[in-house]
Every structure is written in structure tokens, then in C-alpha cells.
């Protein structure tokens, strides 16, 4: 997963500029690589890394090694229950694709409830082209079907998930990698 994360961040870095934020919340952020990259682009922001307790045990040394320990708070939690409130920017990298639509809606609804006014949620995923163009995301979709209950989605399907959570898709940033960034705000 760390290798895929590094590849995603490298692709994102050349195409997406994080929106201005004072508090960045990485939902299910594992070792905080994406959060660290965003905080590197936002020197005045602080970060909050939300993940399960056993994941945070290994995340804390990674955050310290990045030199961001003083700017990142690690919070144990379950994004199916709640998400820390008051963030200006919420990050979800490779989270939504792990889950079926019902669970994905729960996660996004919890994020929507927690968002500060004017906040943005940035979702990084592989997108299946709406027009059926061949894509590596289709192979990953098959993998998700076999291994987990999740799936890769089209932009149209992501719009529906956002709408259910009271969010509106504001922009899609395609990268030179297979990954895209979908930004949404409260509808």
C-alpha cells in the first residue's frame, strides 16, 4: 500500500494544488504520507491524522521522521462512527473504493457533518471512464470485487455518493497517473 500511495502522490503532485486550509484532516490516512505532502504545500496549516489505533502506532514514527510531529495530531477513531470536526480540508486517499455504496455514503456523510463552513473534501481514487475507454481502473475494479466489498467508480457514480452526503462535486483533477482528485463542498 505504501508503494501505491507514493505513486498516487507523485501523480497528484504534478497536477493538483491543495486549496488553502488552516486545518487539514486526513481520514484513514495510514502513515500520513498524503497529509505530509499537503502540509508541505501549506506551511501555516496543522494536520490531524485519523486512523485505527494499531495503524497510528506505526504512523507516529513516520510523522516524526517527516519533521511534522509538531504540526500533526494523531487521533484514533473509526470513520464509520465519526470524523473530527472543524477541518477546512478533508483528505480521503484510496478510502472510498474499499467500500460498497452504503458504507461509502456513511463515510462521506460523516465527513460532511464534520466539515467547517466553506471546507473542501478531496477524494483521491482511480476513476472508471464514463465513456468506457480502457483504463487500469477497470482491472482494479475487478480486484476490488474479488478481494473486498468495494469498487472503482465513474465520476457520475461519485457525484451520486457526494449528493447523498450533502456534498456537491466542484472539480475533478485528472493526473498523468491513473489517479484523480475529486473536490467537493457542502451542497
Point out the residues that are catalytic.
Answer: 97
- Please report which helix (H) or strand (E) contains residue 68, including its range: none
Largest CA distance in the chain: 46
Between CA 187 and CA 174 the distance in angstroms is 22
Helical ranges in 1-100 per DSSP H: 2-13, 33-41, 53-65
Find out whether 173 and 154 touch, Cβ atoms under 8 Å. Answer: no
Amino acid at each position: 500500500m505504501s508503494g501505491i500511495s507514493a505513486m498516487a502522490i507523485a501523480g497528484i503532485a504534478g497536477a493538483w494544488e491543495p486549496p488553502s486550509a488552516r486545518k487539514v484532516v486526513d481520514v484513514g490516512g495510514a502513515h500520513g504520507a498524503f497529509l505530509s505532502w499537503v502540509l508541505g504545500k501549506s506551511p501555516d496549516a496543522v494536520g490531524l491524522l485519523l486512523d485505527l489505533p494499531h495503524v497510528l502506532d506505526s504512523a507516529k514514527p513516520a510523522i516524526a521522521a517527516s519533521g511534522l510531529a509538531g504540526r500533526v495530531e494523531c487521533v484514533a477513531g473509526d470513520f464509520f462512527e465519526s470524523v473530527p470536526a472543524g477541518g477546512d480540508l478533508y483528505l480521503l486517499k484510496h478510502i472510498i473504493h474499499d467500500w460498497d455504496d452504503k458504507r461509502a455514503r456513511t463515510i462521506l456523510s460523516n465527513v460532511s457533518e464534520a466539515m467547517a463552513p466553506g471546507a473542501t473534501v478531496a477524494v483521491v481514487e482511480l476513476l472508471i471512464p464514463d465513456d468506457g475507454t480502457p483504463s487500469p481502473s477497470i482491472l482494479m475494479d475487478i480486484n476490488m470485487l474479488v478481494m473486498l466489498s468495494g469498487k472503482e467508480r465513474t465520476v457520475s457514480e461519485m457525484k451520486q455518493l457526494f449528493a447523498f452526503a450533502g456534498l456537491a462535486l466542484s472539480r475533478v483533477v485528472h493526473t498523468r497517473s491513473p489517479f484523480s482528485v475529486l473536490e467537493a463542498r457542502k451542497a
